[in-house]
């Protein structure tokens, strides 16, 4: 019986190492992202603070003490633009 034909697969890219990062306001997070990219990081995984993740305004009473603590606070399209300024994310939109 003849051997089955072996398929030639194209080489795969190595895994992209990312830092799950984001803290403070959009400007501070952007500075961190740009520094990481400058040091050779090839991807970004953005951590959003709890009020952002849960859809609360940062000035809502329930958000008190959580804004910018466990991730970056994104409130509007303008703050997203500030967070992603000059990075590859500036060509994407948040989901």
Inter-CA distances, 71 with 11, 12, 41, 58, Å: 35, 32, 19, 13
64 in any annotated domain: yes
Q: With respect to residue 24, please indicate whether it lies within any of the assigned structural domains.
A: yes
Nearest to 51 by CA among 60, 40, 38: 60
**Is residue 10 in a domain?**
no
- Of the candidates 41, 45, 89, the residue with the CA atom closest to the CA atom of residue 71: 45
Domain total in the chain? 1
Within a domain: residue 47?
A: yes
Helices 26-38 & 77-84, crossing angle to 10 degrees? 30
Tell me: pLDDT of 91 over 70: no
- Domain contains 5: no
Tell whether 78 is covered by a domain. yes
Q: pTM, whole model, 2 decimals? A: 0.67
**Domain presence at residue 72:** yes
94 vs 82: CA distance, rounded Å = 13
Structural domain boundaries enclosing 32: 18-91
Q: Kindly report, residue by residue over 3-56, the tens digit of the pLDDT.
A: 778 888 888 777 777 778 887 888 888 898 888 888 888 888 889 999 999 999
């Amino acid at each position: 019986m003849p051997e089955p034909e072996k398929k030639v697969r194209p080489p795969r890219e190595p895994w992209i190492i990312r830092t799950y990062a984001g803290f403070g306001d959009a400007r501070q997070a952007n500075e961190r992202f740009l520094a990481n990219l400058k040091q050779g990081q090839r991807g970004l995984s953005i951590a959003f603070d709890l009020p952002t993740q849960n859809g609360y305004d940062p000035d809502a009473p329930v958000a008190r003490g959580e804004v910018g603590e466990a991730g970056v606070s994104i409130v509007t399209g303008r703050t997203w633009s500030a967070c992603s300024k000059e990075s590859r994310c500036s060509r994407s939109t948040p989901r």
